[in-house]
Structure 1
């Protein structure tokens, strides 16, 4: 009869505070970018027509209604 070994439970994964802050920063940056591209309509991007047109083209590329 084969020998049966005891199975040790897996230890829970730990997340370092640095990784948590980095992930939070990335999520905030992506949400800000999504807001600027999808919902801004020129309120924040008044630094010139180039940025406004870039965001406008991004809306069309993503299929977000803008007109």
Structure 2
């Protein structure tokens, strides 16, 4: 049988801090916006660079870019 104190310690070790969830959420939203950008957000030169660098990955992930 598992000791309740040990079980609580194991659960506490598995908890993810709130700041980590927020950081992950911001990163995902940022990735989504950049992956969907076709020049409207980043400007022409920066958008072209992002588009060319991530072009094949966008198609693999199913993001339309044409």
TM normalised by structure 1 equals 0.53
Change (3 A) 1:65 1:47: closer
TM normalised by structure 2 equals 0.53
- Tell me by how many angstroms 1:32 deviates: 1.2
- Tell me by how many angstroms 1:63 deviates: 1.9
1:22 maps to which residue?
20
- Tell me by how many angstroms 1:61 deviates: 2.5
Question: 1:65 aligned to 2:53?
Answer: no
Higher Cα Rg: structure 1 or 2? 1
Gaps of at least 5 residues in structure 1 are 1-7
Note if contact 1:46-1:52 (Cα within 8 Å) is conserved in structure 2: no
Gaps of at least 5 residues in structure 2 are none
4+ long deviations beyond 3 Å: 8-11, 13-16
More helix by share: 2
